[in-house]
Amino acid sequence: MDPRVQKAITLLSKDLGRPFDFQALAVAVNLSPSRLRHLFKRETGMTPAQFLKRLRLEGARELLEGSFLRLKDVMPRVGVTDESHFVTDFKKAYGLPPIKYRQRTLSTPSR
């Protein structure tokens, strides 16, 4: 994998709770935003924005499974501000809205 894309992934993964500036990400890896987007998509199959969205959804899923935080507390920890979009995206990714997903994981016995 291109080292610039690896560095971009590391930077994207660092702190999901903060807003992300893709211009700054491109500067950090010494590429233009369009060139970074092109390289990133070639290497990962998705754009940096899509990758970040996936990381945020995965982070939210992990918090819902492993904590008793309310949804309104989970969202800022993973950098989500719009609850309706988050619920829609989460349901699309995991098949259930976040609250029902948590209820299902809590009612499923550990193996």
Q: What is the pLDDT of residues 9-41, one digit of tens each?
A: 999 998 898 888 999 999 999 999 999 999 999
Q: Which amino acid is at 13?
A: S
Fold classification of 3-107 (topology level): Arc Repressor Mutant, subunit A (1.10.10)
In the block, tokens 């800022």 appear at: 76
In the block, tokens 């500067």 appear at: 27
pLDDT of residue 6: 96
Question: What gap in Å lies between CA 31 and CA 62, rounded to an integer?
Answer: 32
pLDDT of residue 20: 86
For the chain, the structural domain boundaries read: 3-107
- In this predicted structure, the answer to whether residue 54 has a pLDDT above a threshold of 80 is yes
Radius of gyration of the chain (CA): 16
Question: What gap in Å lies between CA 36 and CA 26, rounded to an integer?
Answer: 6
Q: Can you give the pTM of this predicted structure?
A: 0.87
- In this predicted structure, the answer to whether residue 109 has a pLDDT above a threshold of 70 is no
Q: To the nearest whole number, what is the mean pLDDT of the chain?
A: 92
